[in-house]
Structure 1
């Protein structure tokens, strides 16, 4: 059998191989948006831009590479959460718990992370350009 593939199909196949995977569990994203409670959820790579997550329970959630640009996380519990490489630029995250959280290489540009608990948090490579970090324990060179 002689099988011919169209150029459009070949391009689509190539894009599927090289495009970054969105690993977030859609059911977990929906649960978070509806209930603001998703402890231990897989939210890696999720687009949570401008999400209203006031007081959200995100303990031990995987938010690696998630987009939380301009999200409201006031009072959220992110204890033990994996925020490695997450984008929290312009996020409002005052009075949050980031104890034992992994913030390695996270983007906190212009974010408000004031009065945050950060005991044991990993903060290597965090971009805090223009961020308000009063009372947060996050600073340049902190780990």
Structure 2
């Protein structure tokens, strides 16, 4: 979805809507169109809901990415220097090089941010990561116990061996995430999307995954080999 105006239309927003408005519109529409809300025996409607949710996800991803880029590229305001004869002269190349990293910082010299750092083994215990975008990040063996990850964006995140015990993953989007051998004991997984995720060997004992009669976690195409379910049953498939 390359047309930004179309992205706004999909979310029912006017062009230029704030990030908060984008996130709220996404949550409202995702709640309405989530396939788990459609009876399993209505395949046609479930397929339609799946396509609609995919379109909603793409629209939000595009708009969030755009706004993050705009925030990154917006330079901080600097006080206007007093004009002098020297200020009209062209800055020599050597001084320009110094100004890009020293006290002579010039607004026109944009310095791009470094790539996402490796967060393997990081300590995020009790952290508030609600609605954060951690997609594609390496969080192998990280400690996220008791962290709030509700509505977090975790596409293709690497959580191999991570500790998510008692974390809140309510409506978190973990499409194609790697949670192999992760600790998800007593974790709130209601509304989370694990489509295409690797949950092999994950420990879900005591986790909240729905009601007695209804599963409220999306596991379409997920690898569930060796998963320990909340009732202590090991999935040998």
TM more than 0.5: yes
Aligned counterpart in structure 2 of residue 108 of structure 1, from 189, 207, 216: 189
Q: For residue 221 of structure 2, what is the aligned residue in structure 1?
A: 135
Kindly name which structure, 1 or 2, has the bigger radius of gyration based on alpha carbons.
2
Aligned counterpart in structure 1 of residue 127 of structure 2, from 38, 43, 46: 46
Q: For residue 87 of structure 1, what is the aligned residue in structure 2?
A: 168
TM-score, scaled to structure 2: 0.44
- Aligned residues: CA RMSD: 1.7
Considering Cα pairs closer than 8 Å and 6+ residues apart, tell me whether 1 or 2 has the greater RCO.
1
Tell me how far 1:36 sits from its aligned partner: 5.7
Structure 2 unaligned segments of length 5 or more: list them.
1-114, 211-215
**Greater Cα shift, 55-64 or 122-131:** 122-131
Q: For residue 143 of structure 2, what is the aligned residue in structure 1?
A: 62
Alpha carbons of 1:140 and 1:84: their partners in 2 closer, same or farther (altered >3 Å)?
closer
TM-score, scaled to structure 1: 0.71
For 1:121 and 1:55, locate their aligned partners in 2 and report how far apart those are by CA, in whole Å: 19
Aligned counterpart in structure 2 of residue 122 of structure 1, from 203, 225, 230: 203
For 1:131 and 1:47, locate their aligned partners in 2 and report how far apart those are by CA, in whole Å: 22
- Greater helix fraction, Structure 1 or Structure 2: 2
Give the aligned length. 110
Aligned counterpart in structure 1 of residue 116 of structure 2, from 29, 32, 35: 35
Tell me how far 1:64 sits from its aligned partner: 0.4
SS in 2 for 1:35: coil
